């Protein structure tokens, strides 16, 4: 949060493009670090059996930022200036740092934990869990592959939703469509938060299916009613994805140890950010060279791949509570 504060303050006070670029780079570093920590932190301070719900609460900020933060920042920028928008974020960050300091508990690790009740030799908590060992834990690799395809598909179309809506004749309604998407995301994450600890697999399959159906609809028609419905279905399917994927990765890693769970979550964050970066690049190339419809087709294809991975990894990944030994 301190790096985030410095980054946004530097951006707001930047005398030129180079300093602003440095500020945005630091903000990306801070965001990546926060993502790597938050899900594991939420798991550790939550009561037993409610880890998924804790992650859902922590991750509510993502759709809230999409549906509320971006329009608020845009409004401040238009009314007062873009520097004031970054200054406002810095002030909020200061308040959050103070809140964290006085209210968020420290979390220690026990010397030994029984990550898997079937293990007769529980691993010391201090032992490191390199990525290669974590990937060997059953279920981790399919979950991380799902992260890659799902985030890539989402970003390919989300980054270029404005050109798509312009192509569909809804350019003037871009803000309203994104608001509908954001509200649907909030509904999705609320529902996932209530049921993730018992119905992880069911919810993940449903989310991937909704995303695939929505993007496929966007690929085959630009009928206005269909576009609005697709935006809502997309939000419902996508809103709970961070919670579901991080909960699944943490659960799979915990079959070995908390260190493995932390490594799996860190790998998830890395792949998530890579998916966002490459999604923007790939989507831009597709838009420039093949046109808007191919962007939606590519997103739908990646959604279908994600759905196939989730449905195929039934034994070790994305398990409902009743499937847990």
Q: What is the pLDDT of residues 115-152, one digit of tens each?
A: 444 444 444 444 455 878 888 888 889 999 999 999 99
Task: Identify whether the C-beta of residue 268 lies closer than 8 Å to the C-beta of residue 218.
Answer: no
- Helices 224-239 and 174-195 pack at an angle, to 10 degrees, of 40
What does the alpha-carbon distance between residue 229 and residue 154 come to, in Å, rounded to a whole number?
17
pLDDT in tens, 66-87: 667 777 777 788 788 889 889 9
Distance CA 135, CA 132 (A): 5
The answer to whether the predicted template modeling score (pTM) of the entire model surpasses 0.85 is no
Per-residue pLDDT band for 45 (boundaries 50, 70, 90) equals confident
The number of CA neighbours under 13 Å toward the Cβ of 139 is: 23
Higher-scoring residue by pLDDT: 304, 69: 304
3-state per-residue secondary structure call for 17-57: HHHHHHHHHHHHHHHHHHHHHHHHHHHHHCCCCCHHHHHHH
Q: Name which CATH class applies to 131-323.
A: mainly alpha
Of 93-102, 176-185, 239-248, the range with the highest mean pLDDT is: 93-102
Domain ranges for the chain, please list them.
Answer: 2-102, 131-323
């Amino acid at each position: 949060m301190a790096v985030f504060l410095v980054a946004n303050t530097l951006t707001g006070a930047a005398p030129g493009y180079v300093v602003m670029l440095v500020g945005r780079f630091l903000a990306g570093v801070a965001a990546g670090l926060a993502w790597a920590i938050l899900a594991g932190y939420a798991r550790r301070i939550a009561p037993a059996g409610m880890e998924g719900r804790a992650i859902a609460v922590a991750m509510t900020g993502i759709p809230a930022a999409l549906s509320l933060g971006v329009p608020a920042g845009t409004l401040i920028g238009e009314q007062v200036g873009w520097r004031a928008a970054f200054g406002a974020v810095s002030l909020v960050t200061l308040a959050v740092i103070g809140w964290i300091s006085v209210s968020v508990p420290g979390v220690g690790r026990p010397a030994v934990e029984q990550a898997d009740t079937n293990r007769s030799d529980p691993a010391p908590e201090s032992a490191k869990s390199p990525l290669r060992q974590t990937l060997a834990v059953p279920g981790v690799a399919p979950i991380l592959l799902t992260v890659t395809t799902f985030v890539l598909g989402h970003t390919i179309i989300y980054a270029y939703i404005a050109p798509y809506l312009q192509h569909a004749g809804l350019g003037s309604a871009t803000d309203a469509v994104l608001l509908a998407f954001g509200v649907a995301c909030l509904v999705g994450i609320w529902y996932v938060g209530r049921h993730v600890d018992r119905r992880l697999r069911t919810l993940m399959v449903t989310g991937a299916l909704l995303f695939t159906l929505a993007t496929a609809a966007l690929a085959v028609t630009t009928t206005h009613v269909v576009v609005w419905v697709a935006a809502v279905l997309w939000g419902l399917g996508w809103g709970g994805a961070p919670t579901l994927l991080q909960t699944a990765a943490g659960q799979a890693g915990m079959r070995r140890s908390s260190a493995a769970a932390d490594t799996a979550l860190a790998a998830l964050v890395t792949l998530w950010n890579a998916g966002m970066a490459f999604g923007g690049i790939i989507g831009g190339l597709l838009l420039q060279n093949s046109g808007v419809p191919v962007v939606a087709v590519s997103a739908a294809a990646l959604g279908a791949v994600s759905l196939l991975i989730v449905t195929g990894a039934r034994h070790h990944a994305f398990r409902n509570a009743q499937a847990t030994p």
